[in-house]
Each structure stands twice: as C-alpha cells, then as structure tokens.
Amino acid sequence: MNIAEILHILACPECHGDLLLEGSEQNPQGLRCEHCACVYPIEEEIPVLLTSEAIALSDWQKRQQNQ
Ligand SMILES: [Zn+2]
C-alpha cells in the first residue's frame, strides 16, 4: 500500500481537514494536520488516526531532531 495513494481519502479525525505526509512516500513517518498542529503516527505502514494518539507538532519536531 502506497500511503500517497490513500492520502486523499484520509482526513483528520479531529477537524476532518486534509492531512500532509511527514517523511517520504517510501518511508512515511506520520500524517500532519496543519489546522490542529498535530501529527498522527504511522506505525508499520498503518496510519493511526486516533485523537488519543495524536502528537503535538512541537513534540513531533523535537522527536525528529533527536533521531
Ligand atoms: Zn485536524
């Protein structure tokens, strides 16, 4: 499954807005909602679109820098 192909059918569970891919198509890391300033993680190629799993964008960016 290519995440880019299904991205257009996915929406933020909080605001139902569009999601943007974090990482690359080959190595997707998460789905970002600009409106909510949060990122939904992608675990083993499965997007976790749960508000309870959302990571604040600032925390996400810190996490990316630490890798
Ligand atoms: Zn949202």
- Which domain CATH number covers 13? 2.20.25.10
pLDDT tens for each residue of 16-47:
999 999 999 999 999 999 999 999 999 988 99
Number of domains observed in the structure of the chain: 1
Contact 41, 57 (CB under 8 A): no
Measure 66 CA to ligand 1 centroid, in angstroms. 25
> Is the Cα dihedral 45, 65, 58, 4 positive or negative?
negative
How many CB atoms lie under 10 A from the CB of residue 51?
11
Residue 20 tokens, joined: 């943007």
Q: Which domain holds residue 24?
A: 3-65
What global pTM score does this model have? 0.91
Distance (angstroms) between ligand 1 centre and the Cα of 33 equals 5
In the reported structure, the alpha carbon of residue 65 is separated from the centroid of ligand 1 by a whole-number distance in angstroms of 23
Give how far Cα 27 sits from Cα of 2, 36, 43, Å: 10, 23, 11
